[in-house]
Structure 1
Amino acid sequence: MAVVRSLGCVESYQIALQRLDLMRGIILACRYTLPAPLVLRCRQSELISVFERAVARVVLKHPTLHVGLVGEDTDKPCWIRLDQLDLGKHIEWHTEPVRQTQLLDARFTDYQTTPGWKVTVVRSGSAGSIEVILVFNHTNLDGRSAMIFHTNLLQSLQDDRPDLAGEMLLQDHILTLPPESSAMLAPPPELIVQFPVHPNAMRQFLNREVHTPTAQYPRVPTQAHWAPIRATPFQTQSRRITVPRHHLSRLIHACRSHQTTLTGLLHALIAVSLAPLLDFRDAPALSSLTAMDLRRFLPSRPASHPWFRPEEGMSNYVTLATHTFDEHILAQIRESLAGDQLVGPGKDSPFKASPSLVDLIWTTAAQVRKDLEGKLAQGTTNDMIGFSLAVQDWRAHLGEEVQRPRRTSWVITNLGEIDGLPHGKGRPSALPGPSNPLDRSTWSITDTEFVMGANAVSSAICVALAAVRGGDLVLSCSWQDAAVDVAVAEAVVANLERWLTCLRVIDAGRVDGSEGGEGEGVVGLCGANNSTSG
């Protein structure tokens, strides 16, 4: 058994979550359109072989997909080299739809011999497409890594040729790994960049998070007392919202005209959707998180790892930005909503919102953007990783965490756009579709969905979004069934969907219930409901 390296700080935190059963899987699913020759049902076995070869090439390219893990129940876990990988344990084919929450809630096991990822492929009958569902352990990968997986897989499928089959040792689903295959395992961020922490900030962190007994842990207004931490039972609920691409462009235009981003708008809309559903005593204020990609702060080809390019590296390179919605903001939201009818538990009626509420939404969304700009300007200073390096034993720390109040009410992770077309000679100009129905000579990705599994000690509600370039935006809203009242969560999803799918953008920058014109000073929102269980 050859040790490649010790797990980094974030990786150690994630494996502790896994072993304490506080978190399980994450999904990035994509629908791949088959090239015409492989659509025929009689060529299904050939399709399966082509797919397995393509996955094998991606696995060989990224060491994190083919390293094992030992010491998972100690404070010094390590990545180890594997001699071979049984792809039969990582790729499953189905002819009927698979429930996503079932995949999310499956536990990862056999860490020493089976890396933390799995692909479920669904093809119904002789359909001209397959759904490829990547389920991964956050210890191994982050959302950007999952996107890299799919774009690399798309290219590998497109480039496949029968004469390439002999370029790797793959027989009976067993992939033999080259001797130095894991030498270029992506490094943890703290090995290649500094994470300085101001002394006063570190003292406050140690006093509050490390040295304070759980019974004396401070209660603050922004904590999510409405959703107390419950480690068991562990079951993820998920709902989906689809924003059509023509409407997405209108939303983005509205965000730009109000000096914010789609992420900023989503935070504001969730605050407006959630606040009226909660008792003031449990939620006088709220806080939320935005997941951010650390790769922008990591050096390319550093002297210690001259082969490393962060934009191509698969690992867990996630940091977080915190947003606060204080008592004053929530009081304004509740006051503005006093005469408006939002969807509440058990209700499903259209609602209207006053101009003052719309103004408050855009003001709040703009502040979220300022929070994110501040985080970017701060760089790696006072980042969560700098503080986390002071935690010696994540298992012990999380044992305390489950007994404390939940810090944040929701988290948003925006994966952005996936390029659904392969590169190189013969790259089509557009995705196959009604306007381009005959371009079926290449592989392509036409739809995607990013779904976070529940994290028992993190934010109560997870909102993940992704889109294929030129396609619809898909949001998944997920939560732990035992911790969040399903009626509250579904009301939040319903309200969020109504805002997102029914806003219209006016040339003057105002928002109205019609396609254009001056409007009547009231924002009308229709009651379309596309949410489905994940």
Structure 2
Amino acid sequence: MAKSLNHGTEEKVLRKFGINETYQLAMYILDQYRGTVLSCRYAIPPRLAPAESRTKLEELVKVALVDTIMRHPMLQVGMKDATSKTPSWIQLQSLDLTQHIKWLYLGEDVDFDQTVQEIFRVQLDDRFPDYSIKQPNWTITVIRQGDAPIMEVLLTWNHPQFDGAGAKVLHEDFLQMLNNAEGGAYERTGLNGDILRLPETPPLLPAPLETLKSLPLDFLFLAKVFWEEFRPQFLNRDVSWATWCPIRTSPYKTQFRAFFVDNPSLQAILALCRKNKTTITGLLNGLALIAFSQQLDSTIAPAFQSSTIMDHRRNLPPAPPDAPWGRSDRVVSNYVTQVFHRFETELVTRIRSKLPADSSEERDLSADLQRELWAVSAQNRLEIVRKLETGLRNDLVGVFKWVTDWQQTMRDLARKTRQFTWLVTNVGILDGKTSDGGQRWSIDRAQFGLSAEIPAAAIEFAPISVAGRGMCVSANWPDCAVDPIFGERIMADLERWLAQLASQS
């Protein structure tokens, strides 16, 4: 049972939640979203892999985690007034590390990869402790099997604490701390057994996006947003909305699938992306367009809309001189927004005309379809680049500052028509430090996954790569809204076509 180490103590409010944090918390409170997981497979130095080194390994991991916690204040704070309209982050005096790090040892007869996937899926849908327990909403689960020189580390968190790019930073910094702690003393200031006493000085929290950057809104953009928000549903004749997939709120369950692309295949695909002036994110949007065009009939889905999650750390001002995270691109907080894409009826009709007559057969992409694919993928990249170049002008976060009750807003959204058929959130390339010959800690592969976001896109894709080690592409969807067989067909299309493109290079 989770317990608070701060009961009865004065709660010091550090700052109010930012817009992104409040929005994410509202979804969590309404059970429209639960958790996010970034799992990495760590290669253990040979001297720490044997069973007799288990105690030393556990102590090393704990010390490296403490060092990571002290670098990133968002791992140190709890929530106050979570269910109110204005939640706040509060300073905590202590952390009980038994509530944040769990070890799971598997028997030799257990399938390691299968068990990791099962635990990954379970943790996506797990709930965090009650709000009254002043405890940061993140956990580390370490999975080991025998003397195998690997361990799987699942970082699971509640999105208000930080975003996916922040989780990538945490794994990279944790890897650095593991290597730094090797061979050194394991004593840490404030650490007594499993209790970490936090500094009395209030931590410097990263500022919300809207306080760091201006969010200018043009009148026409604002007028369009308010029209789409408040117009009666019967006046929405936009055929690109995902009317084929009504929003359903319960029963809550995430369907999750993933596949891996090895490094030679990934490098071949990246070469094709460069040749065709696009990126993996643009390519996945293009492949998804073809897959949904193939799996859905034109009478129910004449056109589509999708969304790409964008990390705006590159648009942040320099980090404060006393920031423990050092640089603005290494900050762990919430700094993402979205860019929207439309795929009009004419384009979708043209793509469907080039699909095989029998869509039940597993077919490769024809030369004609590949030409459409690369054109769409390049256009998608251009839209993302333009959004980055304009910074936060005409961004929805700027509109969100007028929202006074996020819980009511999200309840209302769940009663409307679904806008997006798919979403792509790519946290990019994780630096696994894999070039030292295996004598130091490294990361061999990673997997990123989101729990179902009830009012968001029907299917959400979450790729992640490890430098020099390949890529994982995952997808999630709400079980109550999307048929699992349909979701699996979409994923099978993407996996087959990526393999086809890799083989062509």
TM over 0.5: yes
Aligned to 1:435: none
Aligned to 1:415: 427
Distance 1:11 1:217 in 2: 32
2:152 is equivalent to residue 134 of structure 1: no
2:435 alignment partner, one of 426, 429, 432: 429
How do 1:182-331 and structure 2 match up within 5 A?
182=203, 184-209=204-229, 211-212=230-231, 218-301=236-319, 309-331=327-349
CA offset at residue 185 of structure 1?
A: 0.6
CA offset at residue 440 of structure 1?
A: 3.7
2:67 alignment partner, one of 52, 57, 60: 57
2:369 alignment partner, one of 357, 380, 385: 357
Q: Residues 149 and 303 (structure 1 numbering): CA distance in 2 closer, same or farther, change over 3 Å?
A: closer
2:415 alignment partner, one of 403, 420, 433: 403
Aligned to 2:459: 461
Distance 2:458 2:338 in 1: 15
Distance 1:86 1:307 in 2: 23
Work out whether residues 40 and 446 of structure 2, in 8 Å CA contact, stay in contact via their aligned partners in 1: yes
2:393 alignment partner, one of 357, 371, 381: 381
CA offset at residue 122 of structure 1?
A: 0.3
1:448 alignment partner, one of 443, 446, 449: 446
Work out whether residues 117 and 134 of structure 1, in 8 Å CA contact, stay in contact via their aligned partners in 2: yes
Aligned to 2:192: 171
Q: Which moved more, 1:74-83 or 1:476-485?
A: 476-485
Work out whether residues 25 and 135 of structure 1, in 8 Å CA contact, stay in contact via their aligned partners in 2: yes
CA offset at residue 355 of structure 1?
A: 2.3
2:268 match: secondary structure:
helix
Aligned to 1:522: none
Q: Which moved more, 1:270-279 or 1:186-195?
A: 270-279
Distance 2:365 2:440 in 1: 47
Aligned to 1:121: 142
2:53 is equivalent to residue 43 of structure 1: yes
Work out whether residues 121 and 133 of structure 1, in 8 Å CA contact, stay in contact via their aligned partners in 2: yes
TM-score by length of 2: 0.92
Work out whether residues 92 and 198 of structure 2, in 8 Å CA contact, stay in contact via their aligned partners in 1: yes
CA offset at residue 42 of structure 1?
A: 1.4
* Percent identity between the two aligned chains: 34
Distance 1:197 1:493 in 2: 37
Distance 2:55 2:188 in 1: 20
Q: Residues 301 and 157 (structure 1 numbering): CA distance in 2 closer, same or farther, change over 3 Å?
A: closer
Q: Match for 1:137: what amino acid?
A: N
Work out whether residues 247 and 481 of structure 2, in 8 Å CA contact, stay in contact via their aligned partners in 1: yes
Q: Residues 245 and 67 (structure 1 numbering): CA distance in 2 closer, same or farther, change over 3 Å?
A: same
CA offset at residue 306 of structure 1?
A: 11
Aligned to 2:490: 492
Aligned to 2:129: 109
Q: Residues 109 and 378 (structure 1 numbering): CA distance in 2 closer, same or farther, change over 3 Å?
A: same
Distance 1:420 1:309 in 2: 19
Distance 1:120 1:237 in 2: 21
CA offset at residue 200 of structure 1?
A: 2.7
TM-score by length of 1: 0.87
1:144 alignment partner, one of 165, 179, 202: 165
Q: Match for 2:19: what amino acid?
A: C
Distance 1:83 1:429 in 2: 40
Work out whether residues 263 and 414 of structure 1, in 8 Å CA contact, stay in contact via their aligned partners in 2: yes
1:429 match: secondary structure:
coil
| Cα displacement string for residues 387-442 of structure 1 (whole angstroms, at most 9, x for unaligned residues) | 11111110010110010011101111112211112xxxxxx734xxxxxxxx3421
Work out whether residues 208 and 217 of structure 1, in 8 Å CA contact, stay in contact via their aligned partners in 2: no
Corresponding pairs, count: 484
Q: Match for 1:230: what amino acid?
A: R
Aligned to 2:4: none
1:95 match: secondary structure:
strand
Distance 1:219 1:173 in 2: 58
Q: Residues 412 and 443 (structure 1 numbering): CA distance in 2 closer, same or farther, change over 3 Å?
A: same
CA offset at residue 88 of structure 1?
A: 0.4
Aligned to 2:36: 26
Q: Match for 1:87: what amino acid?
A: L
Distance 2:162 2:324 in 1: 21
CA offset at residue 212 of structure 1?
A: 4.2
Q: Which moved more, 1:157-166 or 1:4-13?
A: 157-166
CA offset at residue 67 of structure 1?
A: 0.3
Work out whether residues 445 and 466 of structure 2, in 8 Å CA contact, stay in contact via their aligned partners in 1: yes
Structure 1 residues without counterparts, runs of 5 or longer: 422-427, 431-438, 506-511, 516-534
Distance 1:315 1:451 in 2: 18
Work out whether residues 7 and 79 of structure 1, in 8 Å CA contact, stay in contact via their aligned partners in 2: yes
Q: Residues 490 and 153 (structure 1 numbering): CA distance in 2 closer, same or farther, change over 3 Å?
A: same
Q: Which moved more, 1:106-115 or 1:406-415?
A: 106-115
Distance 1:217 1:391 in 2: 23
